[in-house]
Amino acid sequence: MSLEDDLFEQRAARVSEIEALGYRPFGKRFDFTHTVPEVFERFGSKTGEELEAEKIRVRIAGRIQTVRRMGKAGFMHVQQNGGKLQFYVRKDAVPERDYALFGMLDIGDIVGAEGYLFITRTGELSLHVEALEFLSKTLLAMPEKFHGLEDTETRYRQRYLDLISNPEVRDVFVTRAKVVSSIRRQLEERGFIEVETPMMQPVYGGAAARPFVTHHNTLDIDLYLRIAPELYLKRLIVGGLERVFEINRNFRNEGVSTRHNPEFTMVEFYQAYTDYNGLMDLTETMLRQIAIDATGGTVVPFGEHQLDFGSVRRLTMRDAVVEFWEGEGGPTPGQVRDSAWLLANAPKATAGECLAHLFEVHAEKKLIQPTIIYEFPVEVSPLANNNPNEPAMVDRFEIFVASMEIGNAYTELNNPLEQRRRFDGQLDMQARGDDEAHQMDEDYLRAMSYGMPPTGGEGIGIDRLVMLMTNRTSIRDVILFPLLRPEAEIGMADRLRRLG
RNA sequence: GGGCGCGUAGCUCAAUUGGCAGAGCAACUGACUCUUAAUCAGUAGGUUGUAGGUUCGAUUCCUACCGCGCUCACCA
Q: Which nucleotide is nearest to A119 (CA to C1')?
A: B34
Give me the mean pLDDT over the A237-260 stretch.
95
Chain segment A433-458, per-residue pLDDT in tens: 777 888 899 999 999 999 999 999 99
The gap from C-alpha A434 to its chain's centroid, in whole angstroms, comes to 30
* CB-CB contact of A396 with A381 (8 Å): yes
Using the CB atom, is residue A70 less than 7 Å from strand B?
yes
DSSP secondary structure code for residue A412 in this structure: B
- Specify the amino acid at residue A465: L
Predicted pLDDT of residue A2: 60
Q: Which residues from the 151-210 window of protein chain A have CB within 7 angstroms of nucleic acid chain B?
A: 151-154, 156, 207-209
Q: Which residues from the 99-138 window of protein chain A have CB within 7 angstroms of nucleic acid chain B?
A: 106-107, 118, 120-124, 126
Instruction: Please report which confidence band the pLDDT of residue A64 belongs to, taking 50, 70 and 90 as the band edges.
Output: very high
Q: For chain A, percent helix, then strand, then coil, each to nearest 5?
A: 40, 25, 35
Measure the CA–CA gap between A270 and A454, rounded to whole angstroms: 10
Across A128-132, A183-187, A345-349, least confident range: A345-349
ipTM of predicted assembly, 2 dp: 0.93
Instruction: Please report which confidence band the pLDDT of residue A9 belongs to, taking 50, 70 and 90 as the band edges.
Output: confident
Chain segment A179-217, per-residue pLDDT in tens: 999 999 999 999 999 999 999 999 999 998 889 999 999
DSSP A209-264: -PPPEEEETTTTEEEEE-S-SHHHHHHHHHTT--EEEEEEEEE--S--BTTB-SEE
* CB-CB contact of A116 with A155 (8 Å): no
CA dist A321 to A149, A316, A337, A393, A395, Å? 44, 9, 11, 15, 18
Measure the CA–CA gap between A92 and A118, rounded to whole angstroms: 17
Predicted pLDDT of residue A355: 94
pLDDT of A59 > 60? The answer is yes
Beta strands A125-136 and A83-90, pairing class: parallel
* CB-CB contact of A214 with A223 (8 Å): yes
* β-bridge partners, A459: A268, A408
Using the CB atom, is residue A259 less than 7 Å from strand B?
yes
Using the CB atom, is residue A410 less than 7 Å from strand B?
no
Give me the mean pLDDT over the A298-326 stretch.
94
Chain segment A95-124, per-residue pLDDT in tens: 999 999 999 999 999 999 999 999 999 999
The gap from C-alpha A282 to its chain's centroid, in whole angstroms, comes to 22
pLDDT of A18 > 60? The answer is yes
Residue A151 CA, nucleotide B29 C1', distance (Å): 32
* CB-CB contact of A188 with A417 (8 Å): no
Chain segment A168-179, per-residue pLDDT in tens: 999 999 999 999
Using the CB atom, is residue A79 less than 7 Å from strand B?
no
pLDDT of A466 > 90? The answer is yes
Predicted pLDDT of residue A1: 44
Give me the mean pLDDT over the A271-278 stretch.
97
Using the CB atom, is residue A349 less than 7 Å from strand B?
no
Residue A254 CA, nucleotide B1 C1', distance (Å): 11
* CB-CB contact of A148 with A81 (8 Å): no
A244's CB contacts (< 8 A; 6+ apart) are A192, A193, A194, A195, A233, A236, A237, A269, A270
Predicted pLDDT of residue A499: 81
pTM over 0.90: yes
Chain segment A406-419, per-residue pLDDT in tens: 999 999 999 999 99
Task: Return the C-alpha torsion angle A368, A370, A375, A376, nearest 10.
Answer: 60
Predicted pLDDT of residue A199: 95
Q: What count of other Cβ atoms lies within 10 Å of the Cβ of residue A287?
A: 25
Predicted pLDDT of residue A125: 98
Using the CB atom, is residue A72 less than 7 Å from strand B?
yes
pLDDT of A3 > 70? The answer is no
Sheet with A213-216: strands ordered across: A200-201, A221-225, A213-216
Q: Which nucleotide is nearest to A400 (CA to C1')?
A: B76
Give me the mean pLDDT over the A291-309 stretch.
96
Instruction: Please report which confidence band the pLDDT of residue A426 belongs to, taking 50, 70 and 90 as the band edges.
Output: confident
Residue A180 CA, nucleotide B4 C1', distance (Å): 37
Residue A140 CA, nucleotide B9 C1', distance (Å): 15
Share of chain A above pLDDT 70, in %: 99
A99's CB contacts (< 8 A; 6+ apart) are A89, A91
